[in-house]
Amino acid sequence: MTFNKYRILLAGGACALTLIACSSSNDSGGASSKEPVAATVNGTPISERLVGMMLKQRTDLGRAASAEARSGYIDRLAMQLVITQEAVKKGLDKAPEVADKLELSRQSILVDAFVQDYFKSNPITDDVLKAEYEKIKVQMAGTEYKARHIVVEKDADAKDIIARLKKNPKAFEALAKEKSKDPGSKGKGGDLGWFDPRGMVPEFGAAVALLAKGAFSEEPVKTQFGYHVIMLEDSRPKEFQPLEQIKNELSQQVQQQKLKAMFDDMKAKAKIEVTPAPAPAEAKEAASAKDAAPAKEAAPADPAKK
């Protein structure tokens, strides 16, 4: 997972929040901060730091941070700030739905900042990577197989195919194209390529592991997909890429695991109280109408009835 992309997606929200904050708080019409200013809009500053952040995101994407690009960003920020100021004058920032969106954006930006700070403060060491690499090697060790299969709906159909293969084992590919109901391998003569049996349904994986090279299953192998006839073409010890080739990917994986563990711990320690969902609007309206309706007066007794 790349967090650069995540930061870029949040950049628009960050800019909007920054500008709205400036517009709302800068009642004096002038900039009081000593921070370098790229431009001012109705006395409200657009910081050079904000423009620099946007230019950095541009260079991170492999694009030049030219003077023309800087001018374009300032123009866009100025236009955004003009509109933001008008929205604040109208009190739109106080509207509940707008305030909710602003709060969600603020939280997202803080989450991203927290994650980046965590990664910076907790780098993954080579020793940690080596330990994780060895653990994965143990988990992934084993044999992988190259096989073909034919899957049919009925046990009798599978037995018929086995009988035909006993007469002519070389007919497997043609029978797969004719009989198999697996759309992924049928056109390839039942070829499944190389695979780890642990990635297959248990019955299939176990049956493959019992076959000798060049042999086919002499009894149908039943799985949730039907009845299989399997031919093993080859097997080999499973290869694993050297650590140096997967170091970056593995480092990200370890970071994600540690981050998730920390988040789970934070959540477990937090006091989270979930309130019941509100009743549907229709039910509320019906209940209100019932409560508001006047009680019916009792009808006078009919003297003719006993």
Domain ranges of the chain: 3-121, 142-237
Predicted confidence (pLDDT) at residue 283 exceeds the cutoff of 90:
no
Q: Using one digit for the tens of pLDDT, what is the confidence trace for 192-228?
A: 999 999 999 999 999 999 999 999 999 999 999 999 9
Picking from 235, 215, 206, the residue whose alpha carbon sits closest to that of residue 143 is 235
Q: Tell me which of 75-84, 252-261, 271-280 is least confident.
A: 271-280
Higher pLDDT, 242 or 15: 242
Paired residues of 191 in beta bridges: 148
**Structure-block tokens of residue 203:** 């019955």
Higher pLDDT, 16 or 175: 175
pLDDT score recorded for residue 123: 93
CATH entry 3.10.50.40 includes domain 142-237 = yes
236 contact partners, CB below 8 Å, separation of at least 6: 143, 144, 194
Picking from 152, 166, 171, 306, the residue whose alpha carbon sits closest to that of residue 221 is 152
SS3 content of the chain, % helix, strand, coil (to 5): 60, 15, 30
pLDDT score recorded for residue 30: 38
214 C-beta neighbours (distance < 10 Å), count? 10
pTM above 0.75, yes or no: no
Q: Using one digit for the tens of pLDDT, what is the confidence trace for 62-90?
A: 998 899 999 999 999 999 999 999 999 99
123, with CB counted inside 10 A (0-12, 13-18, 19+), is exposed
What are the Cα distances from residue 35, in Å, to 23, 70, 203? 17, 18, 68
Whole-angstrom Cα distance, residue 172 to residue 150? Answer: 8
Q: Indicate the average pLDDT of the chain.
A: 85
Rounded to an integer, the average pLDDT of 284-305 is 50
Predicted confidence (pLDDT) at residue 105 exceeds the cutoff of 50:
yes
25 contact partners, CB below 8 Å, separation of at least 6: none
pLDDT score recorded for residue 246: 92
Rounded to an integer, the average pLDDT of 149-164 is 97
